[in-house]
Amino acid sequence: MKDRVRELRAQGRSPKEIARALKVAPSVVAPLVRAIAAEAPAAEPELVGCWVNVGWSEGLTVDPARGWVDEAPESGTGGSVCVLVARRHTWDKMTVCGYLADVYCLGLKNALGPEVLDERELLRFRPYFFGEYAGWQDAPIELAKDIVFGSIDHARTLGFEPHEDFAPVADLLGKWEGESSITFGRDGKPFYVQGVEDDPNRVLQILRRKLSDDEFDYALAEE
């Protein structure tokens, strides 16, 4: 019965039309239609925009076949890459999430959102979000996924997990499968740059569990 309902539903038949075709009561067909609808994967919300800071590719090796362009590759980002994604929430609102990735070593260091903004609010927020960089550029969502998910996978091989705020904003990027088209690390080698809130002793201890001292580089903040 369910297979027959699925077949007729795929033809565009309404539940009442299916009930008549199968010569059963509509009350018999209705729960089957609901169950079939629940089997279908939910469609991703419409992508409104995706942006990444200029200089995102500095120190990285990127598969040229992807055609991803960095508008200012020498802007001195130091392996810190910001990604901003907006998807349709309602006709006049967008769900917005931001991601900060250490693409040389630590992976996803911070995340923001989800925030629901209108177009004017997004236009004000975007310069603030990329305020520490020379600018931002439009990016394909595939690049955003490779930067965020790829840096997380790379960091996990070194012993680091993504920031706890990542879970609520992961879905906005969409599904990601396969290996990244980016080789992470500075010129392919893990490079730790101490951040304001880092515990450098802990970071170096974790790196040394996986790597010898000549297999990674680091730069600590001056006292």
List pLDDT tens digits, range 134-173.
Answer: 999 999 999 999 999 999 999 999 999 999 889 889 989 9
Shortest CA distance to 103 belongs to which of 173, 172, 160, 183? 183
Q: Are 129 and 121 in contact (CB under 8 A)?
A: no
The values of phi and psi at residue 137, to 5°, are -145, 155
Q: Using the 8-state DSSP alphabet, how is residue 129 labeled?
A: H
32, HSE (Cβ side, Cα atoms, 13 Å): 21
What local confidence, expressed as pLDDT, does residue 88 receive?
A: 93
Question: pTM, whole model, 2 decimals?
Answer: 0.79
Rounded (10°) angle between helices 141-158 and 200-210: 80
**Strand pairing category for 136-138 and 47-53:** antiparallel
